[in-house]
Amino acid sequence: MAASPQTEKFAVCLRRLKDRSGRGYDRLGKEAGVSGSSLHRYCSGLSVPTDYRVVHSFAKVCGASTEELRELHRLWALADTDRDVPVVTSEDVPAPAPAPEQEREREPEQDPAPAPAPKPDPPAVPAQASPGPDDAVPPETAPDEAERPRRSRVPGKLSSRFAMLAAVVVVVLVAGFVWMPADASPSADDGLLYSAACKSVSMGQHDECVREVQRLLVRAEGRLAVDGDFGPETLRRLTAFQVLAGMPANNVVDEPTKKALYAQKVSMATWSQDRVAKRIREVFVEDPRTAVAIAHCASFLDPLWTLPNTNGSRNWGVFQISDARLRELDGTPLRAFDPEWNIQAAHRLWSVRHDFHDWPSCEAALKNAPKG
């Protein structure tokens, strides 16, 4: 089966890095901690790695820059999204239903059914004679029948009743506006995201709805570009915002997320890269240089960095601590976004064997990186 356009773009980027390195698949795979045959499949577009850390290690071994790493992560995320999308072929499309005329042509001809026999005419009913001029209206009904038309023709009483009803309606409406709560749900005019065009905003989208989400994330002090493209960078910031706002990180801009974005009560301000590196050196006194390099490989020293995995789990924060490790450390994604907690937790993991075995891809990339 042919690769999807996103997978092909991802493979082209990998091949470009491989060709630039001047090394073969086996040697690159050994340095990146993956088999050469797997690298060949990735670069040929035959498959997409399930773990981005493999891609990251390969790119680092090839000498990719920070911008190239970000672009490669974007392409991997899009290719990974297309992994489970079924390819529709002509065999999957059902044949069109035959037209009614064709159905009738295939039906065997039958003799027309005999027409039903005509029913006999019903017996004639003698017409009642019209009342004559001397026929009187019964006394008990005459006053009601005679009085009813006169009451319906009195306009004054009807007008007064309608006026009273209209006054009651006005009072009710005014009371409703006066007692409307101040925190009522915002209307569609309060922000672009409440419009029908922005009913759903998610990964892969490119429009003004995405641009509005990005502007609101930047207003919350999130670090990202406002380009209208919902890629991995926007997904990471959206995930961080949802976690900081105390809501499920579901990868889409749903109604609660829209409300929280416009409320402007969540701040995404965090430590700078220099402050993160400084604190890592203070905590990892045993091997500060390697610890900083591992964190830079894992998250670019970004405290709010997230990385989704194909099994639905995620890695969180400076040292990209996985969901499984968070449970062992009695942590949560919100705690993992605290750089102090994340660095201390990573040091606890390091202390088990006094090495960086919890970050195998980054450790392998550092060991095999050219010296100089």
Amino acid 264: pLDDT: 95
Last residue of a domain, one of 232, 263, 294: 263
- Looking at the structure, do residues 278 and 358 belong to the same domain, yes or no? yes
Task: Reply yes or no on whether the pLDDT at 139 is more than 70.
Answer: no
Is the domain of 290 the same as that of 347?
yes
Single residue among 263, 288, 315 that ends a domain in this structure: 263
* 156/76 Cα distance (integer angstroms): 79
- Decide which of 263, 281, 306 is a domain's last residue: 263
Residue 61 belongs to what domain range?
Answer: 5-81
- Judge whether 343 lies within some domain: yes
Q: What is the pLDDT of residue 1?
A: 52
| CATH code, domain carrying 227 | 1.10.101.10
Do 335 and 353 belong to one domain?
yes
- pLDDT, tens only, 184-220: 444 444 699 999 999 989 999 999 999 999 999 999 9
The verdict on 259 and 339 lying in the same domain is: no
Share of the chain above pLDDT 90, in %: 44
233 and 285 together in one domain:
no
- Is residue 89 predicted with pLDDT exceeding 70? no
Percent of the chain surpassing pLDDT 70: 69
Asked whether residue 281 falls in the same domain as residue 240, the answer is no
The domain total for the chain is 3
Q: pLDDT tens across 216-244, in order? A: 999 999 999 999 999 999 999 999 999 99
Residue 99 has pLDDT above 50, yes or no: no
Assessment of whether the complete model's pTM goes beyond 0.85: no
Q: pLDDT digit string (tens) for 315-360?
A: 999 999 999 999 999 999 999 999 999 999 999 999 999 999 999 9
Supply the mean pLDDT for the chain. Answer: 78
Per-residue pLDDT, 104: 45
Q: What is the CATH number of the domain that holds 19?
A: 1.10.260.40
Alpha-carbon gap, residue 360 to 372, rounded angstroms: 22
